Amino acid sequence: MASIIAVVVSVAGIVQPAIAIAALPFVLWGCFPFLQDGVVDLVRRRRITFGLIDTVVFVSLILSGQWLIAALLMLALSASGTVLARAENRSQQVLMDGLGVNITKAWLLIDGAEVETPLDRVDKGATVVVRAGGTIPVDGLITEGCGTVDERLLTGEALPVERTVGERVYASTHLLTGTLSVCVEEAGTRTVAAQIAATLQRTLRYRQSLQWRWLRLLDRLTAPILIFGAVAWALRGTQAAMGVIWAFGFGYTMRLAAPAALFTALRRGLDHQILVKDGRTLERMKTIDTVVFDKTGTLTSDTMQVTDIDAFGDHTDADVLRLAASAEADQTHIIALAILEAARRDGLDAPRPDDVTVQFGFGLTARLAEGEVAVGSARFMETLTVARPALSEDRERESAQVGRSTVWIALDGQAIGAIHVQPTLRPEAHAAVRLLKRRNLTLHVLSGDQRAPTEHLARTLGIDRVQAETPPDQKAVYIQELQRKGHKVCFIGDGINDSIALSQADMSVSISGASSIAIDTSQVILLTQDIRGLHQIFDVAEGFNKRLTESLYLSIVADAALVIAALFGQAAFTTIVLGSFACGAAIVSNAARPPRPGDAIDPPAARPLMAGEGGPSALAAP
């Protein structure tokens, strides 16, 4: 308000000089905060800070009678601060709104009636009704109804998915068609979307660190700037001196440009289902030269597949698979699921068994129409005194060398076949490795599994460096040894079980997904569990650092041009101020702009796998 009054009175003073003196109190009132900061730091804290620049400029303007310019400058500084604060708040709000965490009410099913209820009063176990066009307000299981849900927010899935009874839905996803009754598992701040929002809020605090970094640089440059200004005053006069002092403001511009670049990077990462938990990671990634994969759960998925079937005697492969699937029909462990999936894929009818006896970790026996079927390991067959063909024992040893497990099947005490299963290579693993190699990164595979299967997997993916048979506590030691040799290491694991190794690495990425954000110890989480996202986060960080570098160079060039104009072009101080504001606005806008189409190196989410780059059979050949 004081700055506006000062401007009005100063303008009136041009027409009627007698009233110009009335502007001085308002100029002093409005300038007081700018005059105070530098003096307080100098007198009380014995420190020269950038606030002293403002003090010198405003004192010079007031003493030289340029009250209108002082009032205009004061108004411009106040207005720009307000606009930038609002823009920053708006950017933060857009980031949060994209997560849909502003839902406040839900339709609660009470005694058969739907009652609109504040979300903070919705308890676990309650039933919420969601209709087409609405946003799902809670995490929970569908108890009634079916519908089409847009889950792009949390899963990155471009197409809507069908959801029905017994399936899970998440808060902040959108119901496009149908009506759902959802039993509440989590609501409010405990939902996955809310945890993502809370994590982003913590990450955004990093912008304060960016701002303070440039302010500290400005503080260190203040004394040299003032000395240079004194030289300019001696050579070219007061106008040139004030112009020179004001022009040296690239650090101030960077204080605004750096947070703008951070907002853009976080938004870009979230668009690709990448959650950055530590903002410092974006700067640190430019030094990374080594990526270490934890094999289990990272390069391989948590499912298995049938690769080969050996049938003995008069039995066929289909006979062996059908009997094994029938015996395992009620089991849920990953080998049973692999056998059942193979039988379903081959169209085999697998009737449910009778009298199933399970010996956990070994196998089971089941009564079928054909007789008593035993399915299990070689040790299990030995306990049942089932003889196995020597040739098949050799096959089992060969399979073990390439990471496969062998399941034996016997009928009425006679071995009738063996089924070989192996972990499923992630379908995107080949593409992920290729993209990282394009960045000239050194890749390692680290695993607690046996050396032969681990080396086979690494060869399949084209990774040369392998460390196998490494217990969890030694994984951190392996990373530490790489660091001792001068490498900057990014470790990618499951985010929870690999916590020690994740903490040791210079940068840590997990594929634990959105469900474990609160307990994940990594700095970056791939919400879609697609390891091609590792390439994308490098791309995001590269864009962030590129924006910072661009902004710094542009600021230096702009300020150099303004200094030259002030010293040798005899530009008025007002011209220097306007040029400074214009350049600063352009630089901050550049830092905040969305990426151009050419900025992304190869967006993994949009790129299909090429022929031969992976898939369920990628490890089939020994």
Max mean pLDDT range (361-370, 488-497, 588-597): 361-370
Q: What is the pLDDT of residue 362?
A: 76
More reliable by pLDDT, 597 or 43: 43
Which contacts (CB < 8 Å, 24+ apart) does range 85-93 have? 88/207, 88/259, 88/260, 88/263, 91/260, 91/263, 91/267, 91/592, 92/204, 92/263
- The mean pLDDT value of the chain amounts to 77
pLDDT digit string, tens, across residues 55-92: 777 777 777 766 666 776 666 666 656 655 665 555 55
267 and 319 in a single domain? The answer is: no
Which residue has tokens 């970790």?
361
Q: What is the pLDDT of residue 374?
A: 93
Domain termination residue (choose one: 425, 447, 473): 425
Tokens for 550, please give them.
């661009």
Tokens for 613, please give them.
């780059």
Q: Which of 550, 576, 551, 574 is nearest to 563 (CA)?
A: 576
288 and 430 in a single domain? The answer is: yes
- Whether pLDDT at 614 is above 50: no
330 and 413 in a single domain? The answer is: yes
User: Do the domain assignments include residue 261?
Assistant: yes
User: Do the domain assignments include residue 50?
Assistant: no
Q: What is the pLDDT of residue 486?
A: 93
Which whole-number Å values give the CA distances from 277 to 142, 201, 253, 258, 266, in the listed order? 31, 9, 26, 18, 10
* Confidence grade of residue 298 (pLDDT, cut at 50, 70, 90): confident
The answer for residues whose C-beta is within 8 angstroms of residue 390's C-beta and 6 or more apart is: none
Q: Which of 300, 321, 296, 267 is nearest to 540 (CA)?
A: 267
User: Do the domain assignments include residue 562?
Assistant: yes
Q: What is the pLDDT of residue 441?
A: 93
How many Å apart are CA 17 and CA 67, to the nearest integer?
12
Among 129-138, 485-494, 592-601, whose mean pLDDT is lowest?
Answer: 592-601
- Whether pLDDT at 481 is above 90: yes
Amino acid at 13: G
Tokens for 197, please give them.
């929002």
Instruction: Supply the DSSP symbol for 299.
Output: I
Tokens for 509, please give them.
């990425």
More reliable by pLDDT, 96 or 117: 117
Q: What is the pLDDT of residue 615?
A: 33
137 and 159 in a single domain? The answer is: yes
435 and 507 in a single domain? The answer is: yes
pLDDT digit string, tens, across residues 205-222: 666 666 667 667 777 877
Its domain, for residue 186, covers 105-197
User: Do the domain assignments include residue 367?
Assistant: yes
397 and 307 in a single domain? The answer is: yes
CA dihedral 598, 603, 606, 611 (to 10 degrees): 110
- C-alpha torsion sign, points 19, 20, 24, 26: positive
Q: What is the pLDDT of residue 322?
A: 93
User: Do the domain assignments include residue 7?
Assistant: no
User: Do the domain assignments include residue 313?
Assistant: yes
Q: Give the predicted TM-score (pTM) of the model.
A: 0.64
CA angle 204, 206, 210 (to 5 degrees): 125
479 and 590 in a single domain? The answer is: no
Residue 143, H or E segment: strand 139-150
Maximum pairwise Cα distance, the chain: 118
User: Do the domain assignments include residue 20?
Assistant: no
284 and 262 in a single domain? The answer is: no
Task: State the total domains in the chain.
Answer: 4
Q: Which of 290, 300, 299 is nearest to 508 (CA)?
A: 290
DSSP-based three-state secondary structure for 371: strand
- Whether pLDDT at 99 is above 60: no
- What average pLDDT score do residues 592-621 get? 43
Q: What is the pLDDT of residue 100?
A: 53
Provide the CATH number for the domain around residue 123: 2.70.150.10
306 and 403 in a single domain? The answer is: yes
User: Do the domain assignments include residue 75?
Assistant: no
Provide the CATH number for the domain around residue 431: 3.40.50.1000
531 and 553 in a single domain? The answer is: no
pLDDT digit string, tens, across residues 429-474: 899 999 999 999 999 998 877 677 788 888 889 998 988 877 766 8
217 and 267 in a single domain? The answer is: yes
Q: What is the pLDDT of residue 608?
A: 31
How many Å apart are CA 220 and CA 55, to the nearest integer?
16
459 and 525 in a single domain? The answer is: yes
Domain termination residue (choose one: 166, 197, 228): 197
pLDDT digit string, tens, across residues 44-58: 777 777 677 777 777
Domain termination residue (choose one: 425, 448, 466): 425
- Whether residue 506 contacts residue 490, with contact meaning beta carbons closer than 8 Å, is answered with yes
Provide the CATH number for the domain around residue 395: 3.40.1110.10
Among 72-81, 107-116, 541-550, 561-570, whose mean pLDDT is lowest?
Answer: 72-81
Q: What is the pLDDT of residue 80?
A: 59
Cβ burial 154-180 (10 Å sphere, 16+ → b, else e): bbbeeebeebeeeeebbbbbbbeebeb
Percent of the chain with pLDDT over 90: 15
Q: Which of 518, 579, 452 is nearest to 199 (CA)?
A: 518
User: What distance, in Å, lies between the first and last C-alpha atoms of the chain?
Assistant: 78
The answer for residues whose C-beta is within 8 angstroms of residue 285's C-beta and 6 or more apart is: 490, 507, 537, 538, 541, 542, 545
Q: What is the pLDDT of residue 105?
A: 84
Max mean pLDDT range (39-48, 64-73, 335-344): 335-344
Q: What is the pLDDT of residue 217?
A: 73
- Whether pLDDT at 185 is above 60: yes
* Confidence grade of residue 127 (pLDDT, cut at 50, 70, 90): very high
